[in-house]
Amino acid sequence: MENHSIESTTPVYTLSTTSTLSGIPVHSIRQYIDKGLIIPYRKESNRNLFSQVDILRLKYIHKLLVEDGLNIAGIRSVLALIPCWAIRKCSAEERENCHAFQSDAYPCWEASDKGKLCKNTNCRECEVYRIVENYPDVKSYIKSLIP
């Protein structure tokens, strides 16, 4: 029997299907895209496709909004706390020249000037963006760093 499992980062779901699977309205998903909270895969036809990781991220964003009472700016700040430099093992020199390391207002995938380690990285596939696969929230990831 063939195994037809889909890689968690493979963009296969349309916006409508993603809305159904995540329980989040289409207009909200579009807003999260516009605000840089989620990075959908964009087809040549300009249609967005989403992966299982994107659905996990959408659910986390929705939890922060509804259960924790944060606004979009607050969520961006929480996502900015993800220590991308530690995950990607950036050197002191790379951190010095990276806007993601210096900013607390936006997540690393929104940085205008990324360090050289990340310049040519597809953020959708980066372990920093995919952190929701293994940790339900930013705090649980940070706790995992403490021995």
User: Which tens digit of pLDDT belongs to each residue from 47-62?
Assistant: 999 999 999 999 999 9
Q: How many CB atoms lie within 10 A of CB 113?
A: 10
In whole angstroms, what is the distance from residue 23 CA to residue 18 CA? 8
pTM: 0.85
pLDDT value at position 3?
53
Structural domains in the chain plus CATH codes:
15-136 (1.10.1660.10)
On average, the pLDDT of the chain sits at 90
In whole angstroms, what is the distance from residue 18 CA to residue 76 CA? 21
* 127 in Cβ contact with 78 (< 8 Å): no
Sequence-distant (≥ 6) Cβ neighbours of residue 147 within 8 angstroms: none
Token pair in block for residue 27 = 């207009």
